[in-house]
Amino acid sequence: MSAGLIEPHGKQLINRSLEGHERQDTFEQAHALPRITLSKRNIADLQCIATGIYSPLEGFVNEADYNSIVKDMRLSNGLAWSIPVTLQIPESDAEKCRLDSQIALAHPNGEILAVMTVKSKFTPDQDHEAQNVYLTTEDAHPGVKAMKAEGPVYLGGPISLVNDIPYDNFLEYRLSPVQTRLEFANREWNTVVAFQTRNPIHRAHEYITKTALETVDGLFINPLVGMTKSDDIPADVRVKCYETIMSLYYPKDRTLLGVFPAAMRYAGPREAIMHAIARQNYGCTHFIVGRDHAGVGDYYGTYDAQTLFREFNADELKIQPVKFEHAFYCKLTGGMATAKTSPSAKEDRIHLSGTKVRAMLRDGKKPPAEFTRPEIAQILIDSMQAPALSAV
């Protein structure tokens, strides 16, 4: 690892994946343990914990850390952490999960993935969690709905991965922090800006990522491919868009694509902090924060995520936020811009809503070139007219 790379959050990159004889022995012993079947969100969190994406977490958070995160956006030791990563179970499974004992964590296909030592078992006030983390208790909020659906009983404790999590997509892009840090070092990138997205890259995204790239050594495009809302564009379609636009419109030697396996929580400002921490663990020094980062509906203010970063100093978050206003195509200047750089009136600015763009795509109409590259528009049109495609 290059001495020039940023240190992981908490100073140590966590690895909770067992190897060799220890892995095999623990896997075999796990078959005799009480078993919990994981949800899609659990599996995404398990992957992020085991590979160090969520460093310094070594497992699902215990009650003390949970309470501290919900109240103060910090672990109980004071380290910045904005969203509780929890293992929630139904009450019917609670009795078999005893304190200071081990349980097996299984994939829905029945395969045991990990062993967990139960250090904490508690039943918190989920409305209190929802109000603090998501700023609402409404089930209409997809993050609140998903959280409550996971179960009312929370388990905390360290995990050990004993089996590879089965994936059949994006295998070449499923890079761990160890792998990205090695790649950054090999490319001699000491400064790297990360771009989080759950949407295809349109012209506004292209503008802000390239503007940020002007100031650093490399750009890490790191789209989230875990669980998202049913009306979000499927991950397989998005990855095809990323591959296409990067091959045609970005410098290959200064950009890298890797997928972020996390589940989307739609927690707005708090999720922006969590996303930044994960990218610091990947080895990135800078993190793009645009309008309504990780937002949904009207639950958060347009730039609330940018404001929240002010609550953490440089000693708490080493990664630096790169803040952008809403970008648009400016007819007056003939290029992409923001309100900071364009003197144009609103009628001279082209930016379409996601609802309007989806309607155009369903009708087989290409959005204007000022909004998206034609190659990307065609991929999206084809996907909209192929209902067999399903979200990851």
CB 315 within 8 A of CB 222: no
Active site annotation includes 109: no
CA 282 and chain centroid, separation: 12
Active site annotation includes 77: no
Beta bridge partners of 121: 155
Pairing of strands 218-221, 112-117: unpaired
Q: Please report the DSSP string for 243-299 in residue order.
A: HHHHHHHS-GGGEEE--B-PPP---THHHHHHHHHHHHHHT-SEEEE-TTTT--TTS
CA 216 to CA 184: how far, in whole Å?
Answer: 12
Q: Which residue of the set 16, 41, 181, 198 is catalytic?
A: 198
Tokens 């062993």 label which residue? 115
**CA R_g for the chain:** 21
Beta bridge partners of 345: none
Tokens of 104: 């097996």
Continuous segment of H or E residues that includes residue 67: helix 63-72
Closest by Cα among 258, 192, 178, 193 to 224: 258
Q: Which residue of the set 35, 199, 254, 358 is catalytic?
A: 199
Continuous segment of H or E residues that includes residue 221: strand 218-221
Q: Known catalytic residues?
A: 198-199
